[in-house]
Amino acid sequence: MPKAVPPRFVLIFWPVADRLLRVIEHISPLKADDNGIIRFSLRHYKGVTRVLSDGSEVKAGDTIMELHLNNEWFKRKRNLSLSASQSPREFLGRLARDLQFLAEQVASGAFGNVAALHGSTILHVAARRLGFQVDELPDSLWKKGARFYMAGLMQAYHLRGDDVSGLREKPWELKEVWLSRAALLSKYGPKHE
């Protein structure tokens, strides 16, 4: 049975793999200065029609925004030596501010007609707190590989480095997250007067 977490000595390759993935997947920073916590790529949805928890539908061919974390943000914060108690609070606050910025951009039409935000993450508890719908992913080789890769990213970049809470003792589950355009604009969009 493969280890759920990469051995520490191979983590020097994770930043290189992260950069390569950004190029292959056309992952761009949300903000021009790349100081945000969100990066993204635009995709056309290829699955069967998906009804989200707010009743919104995502159909084949709809544009969806794949969300990715800006791992460099975590590296900069780690270098500032934030305490573990400050980091989750700051992470959620920063992510909420970036979602507000994203909602403004979506409302203005900057990304075309995005039907929903989507991602796969081991940080699904935080995503749920921010309003995302969290769904189970089917057990597959892709899920195991993506979870292994993300666990390596957590170790290589994130605030607690090799000591990411619970990562070695109890593997974090990879889940799929969705937020419809309507939910994004309702929760994070510009307020109408």
Within a 10 A sphere around the Cβ of 120, how many other Cβ atoms?
19
Instruction: Say if 98 falls within a structural domain.
Output: yes
Residue 14: inside a domain, yes or no?
no
State how far the Cα of 181 lies from the Cα of 175, in Å rounded to an integer.
Answer: 20
Domain assignment present for residue 168? The answer is no
53 vs 50: CA distance, rounded Å: 10
Q: Residue 19: which of 153, 109, 134 has the closest Cα?
A: 153
Q: How confident is the prediction along the chain (193 residues), in pLDDT tens digits per residue? A: 345 666 666 667 777 777 888 888 898 999 988 888 899 999 999 999 999 999 999 999 999 999 998 877 766 665 555 444 446 777 788 899 999 999 999 999 999 999 999 998 888 888 999 999 999 888 888 788 777 777 777 776 654 444 444 444 445 788 999 999 999 999 999 874 3
- 160 found inside a domain: no
- Please tell me the total count of domains within the chain: 1
* Residue 151 lies inside a defined structural domain of this protein: no
State how beta strands 114-121 and 63-69 pair.
parallel
Question: Is 129 inside a domain boundary?
Answer: yes
Task: Give the residue ranges of DSSP H helices in the chain.
Answer: 14-24, 71-79, 86-107, 124-129, 141-157, 181-188
Please check whether residue 39 lies inside any domain of the structure. yes
| Domain encompassing residue 99 | 27-138+174-188
Residue 19 resides in a domain: no
